[in-house]
Chain A
């Protein structure tokens, strides 16, 4: 069992789900793959299909159209799979919350395992958020 948990924390495949973002967070996510931060050191990879995902990175405040799609994509991921809200929009809808085309915040639609705030968050903040997620999950499994 411990080998399984260790393997899961050492090899997190991330699916990037853009739910009507302004693209700023998405650019910062790609920074994580560049030589300066090189997240592959920790076994973290971006994957193209949600079926391969261990974590779903949601960016943007969901609008009316994106809402249903986000729910569907998250339901298609194999368990165990974590949902991470990236950026102020996904965490709290930010200033778009009062807009006519916004319905719900991400954590009202699905369970969110980690919040990474910032507009956009720095790559260091994202790495810290992922480490916090791993530590929280390990602590929960030990109990």
Chain B
């Protein structure tokens, strides 16, 4: 693949993720408002928020590590953009992906969390470091079951670690979710996604009402805008990752209806995230760890065993 083609994919991936992510953020806020019997913000609200943040002053707190504080948002944004570009290529040409892109995606998807941890520790604020340490524990909590359930489609597709082959397997042999192990794995993946996106009940690192935005407390202007944009883009990237792994619905080559089907599933997943976030209370970080390690991980192991048995 040439350099120009690569830049094209990166730019395309960024634009798609930013636009869909902004829509997802608006959808989230609008549904929240409707659940609370309010009207909610207009469609272009995320655009206004982002442009406004670009125009604001950037403040670096006294005692903060200036370079790390300002570069942390860039790490997260860059990683999300690369994942989005990889997905774009996987969806357009499922046959031409490289070996191991699944592992690359899993690695890249943890970088936004690491950016939050770095940024919060660099900002020299006690509440921010509290948020950062909570984010660290959150990552440790959900990453284990998440990795286990990602193994299920890999085992089903005959041990491949190429996203394209997983999509092609599901196009010919039926979706992974149409089996017992697939259903268990998908439900666990949805729970892990809620934690990955740091939404209620797993929003302990942010906790607006408790530690006042936690990791983001010292961020302002462009830096805050980039963090927000990364968060919104994650709302596109992570659900798409689950759809590729478990449903394979993005296979538009078979028929264009699959694309419509994929959009409907995506909106369904967004609706699920929003409704869970509106009907639950925030868990403490120790409760989150207990939940993931004691309750979710055994089911994830069960799903992997069932997948090995071919169920």
Which residue numbers of A lie inside 8 Å of B, CB to CB?
Answer: 3-4, 6-8, 10-11, 34-35, 38, 40-41, 43, 47-49, 51-52, 54, 76, 78-80
Contact = CB atoms under 8 A, between A and B. Distances in A.
B52 A11 contact: yes
B217 A54 contact: no
Contacts of A40: 29, 33, 38-41
B57 to A, nearest CB: 4
Contacts of B36: 35
A38 B39 contact: yes
A78 B41 contact: no
B220 A7 contact: no
A78 B59 contact: yes
Contacts of A8: 52, 55
B45 to A, nearest CB: 5
A78 B40 contact: no
B25 to A, nearest CB: 12
B12 interface: no
- Range of interface residues on B (Cβ < 8 Å): 20 to 34
A48 B39 CA distance: 22
A51 B33 contact: no
B58 interface: yes
A78 B51 CA distance: 15
Contacts of A6: 48
Interface of B: 29, 33, 36-42, 44-45, 47-52, 54-59, 208-209, 212-213, 216-221, 224
B212 A11 contact: no
B40 A49 contact: no
Contacts of A7: 47-52, 55
A132 to B, nearest CB: 20
15 contacts: A4-B52, A4-B55, A6-B48, A7-B47, A7-B50, A11-B49, A41-B39, A43-B48, A43-B49, A48-B212, A51-B217, A51-B224, A52-B216, A52-B220, A80-B56
Contacts of B59: 51, 76, 78
A83 to B, nearest CB: 15
A41 B41 contact: yes
A6 B48 CA distance: 8
B35 to A, nearest CB: 11
Contacts of B33: 38, 40
Given A38-B33, A79-B57, A47 B51 contact: no
A41 B213 contact: no
A10 B48 CA distance: 6
B88 to A, nearest CB: 28
Nearest to B55: A4
A134 B209 CA distance: 28
A4 B51 contact: yes
A48 B55 contact: no
A54 B37 contact: no
A18 B41 CA distance: 26
A54 B52 contact: yes
B48 A11 contact: yes
- The list of the 9 closest CB pairs from A to B, nearest first, reads A48-B212, A7-B51, A78-B57, A10-B48, A51-B220, A78-B220, A11-B48, A38-B38, A7-B52
Contacts of A48: 208-209, 212-213, 217
